[in-house]
Structure 1
Amino acid sequence: MDLQNFYTEILKLSDTQLVQALTENSQIKLIKKGDVLQHIGSPSTELYFLMKGLLRGYLLDSKGKEVTDCFVYAHGTPVVSSINLGESSLICIEALEDSELIAIPFSVVLPLIGSNLEVIILYNRLLSNSLKMHWENKTVLVQYTAAERYQWFLESYPGLIKRVSHRYIASFLGMTPVSLSRIRRIVRDGEN
């Protein structure tokens, strides 16, 4: 998919001048498995959208241990590492697979957020979707049992159980890898 089609078909932008400006100022960025796209504390300079691949966002706890915050795997998903665009990154974003992203400099995006109604609507839609996803994740972590969290993960993140290291999934679900392994075995044995 070319950049222009991405903006019109995936992001649903209809303003031809806006699409042309974004297309002219965007580039495709390739990131290899294991590479870090954004480090914690480093300034964010670009807005990314995932075209293909798999990314993981993580924080560090008080002991410096990685805690998985999110997975980005769906085509067209925005990849943002801080609440406000252009601020220092709150999470580290690393590639779990070779990945392809669209990169747009914040110097292009930020003025549009303040002046273009179509971009304002898109920005609000993306923020709303992100907030909804994060609240669902946090609610699941607090209200579900470990087995229920695992079942929710299988339903909400189809196919990722085969693509993501189980230690990252365990971290994301707030359990140890040993607990996840035990739950997986119970679920697998219950299906047979």
Structure 2
Amino acid sequence: MEIQNFYTETLKISDTQLVQTLAENSQIKVIKKGDILQHIGSVSTALYFLMKGLLRGFLLDVKGKEVTDCFIYAHGAPVVASIDLGAPSLICIEALEDSELISIPFSVVLPLVCTNMELVTLYNRLLSNSLKMHWENKTALVQYTATERYQWFLKNYPGLIERVNHKYIASFLGVTPVSLSRIRRMVREKLKLK
């Protein structure tokens, strides 16, 4: 029932036959903190949605250093490592907390995306939201100062500063961990003066 409710209440799918098909072919996947859900270059066979927990997407720079690309923390967020469903992963996805996901095989989803208009609309909405978030992230990284990026992070990723290792946040914001620590201290001091 939990899976059916996810499709009707979280994803807002109204087609009862579609919900039944999706629910019958879905399962709950539990991953532990530190586990890798998807490796760079591997091909996923399933589409995932986050039920609870926290994930991080990262890639490697030319020196092999991890660069945090995204955080997945919202209930119902799609967990996709490539824009092309079923293509090799562009990023690695790691659990930062014990997490629970709904998993549905691509072999079930892909034919439905081609035939069910409600699913096409949902896919386009999720893709559009993801693209919007991606561009907001990239704009902040390019146009904001380090302090402004930190303040933007606090506003757009509420509560994550308490849940995520600060080295991952520093990587995401394009600063060193030492710089992030200095920025955090400076922001706290400014707040105390107000």
The normalised TM-score by structure 1 is 0.99
Are 1:129 and 2:166 an aligned pair? no
- The residue number in structure 2 matching 1:178 is 178
Which string of whole-angstrom CA distances, capped at 9 and with x for unpartnered residues, describes residues 161-186 of structure 1? 00000000000001110110000000
Q: Percent identity?
A: 80
Superposed displacement of residue 191, structure 1: 1.4
Alpha-carbon RMSD across the aligned residues, in angstroms, is 0.6
Query: Which residue identity lines up with residue 121 of structure 1 in the other structure?
Result: T
Q: How many angstroms apart in 2 are the aligned matches of 1:101 and 1:122?
A: 18
- Partner SS, residue 56 of structure 2: strand
Q: Matched residue of 1:112: which SS? A: helix
2:160 corresponds to: 160
Which residue is 1:92 aligned to? 92
Residue 142 of structure 1 corresponds to 142
TM superposition score normalised by structure 2: 0.98
Amino acid at match of 1:37: L
Residue 191 in structure 1 maps to residue 191 in structure 2: yes
The correspondence of residues 28-47 of structure 1 with structure 2, limited to 5 A, is 28-47=28-47
Q: 1:183 aligns to what SS in structure 2?
A: helix
Give the distance between the partners of 2:80 and 2:49, measured in 1 at CA.
9
1:2 CA displacement = 0.2
> May I ask how many residue pairs the two structures share in their alignment?
192
d(CA) in 1 for partners of 2:160, 2:82 = 24
Structure 1 residue identity aligned to 2:133: M
1:48-106 Cα deviation digits (max 9, x unpaired): 00000000000000000000000000000000000100001100000000000000000
What are the ranges of 5 or more consecutive residues in structure 1 without an aligned counterpart? none
Give CA deviations for 1:147-169 in whole Å, capped at 9, x if unaligned.
00000000000000000000000
What corresponds to 1:20 in structure 2?
A: 20
Give how far 1:3 is off: 0.5
Q: Distance in 2 between the 1:174 and 1:116 partners?
A: 41
Structure 2 unaligned regions, length at least 5: none
Could you tell me how far apart the structure 1 residues matched to 2:113 and 2:61 are? 33
Alignment of 1:78-117 (within 5 A): 78-117=78-117
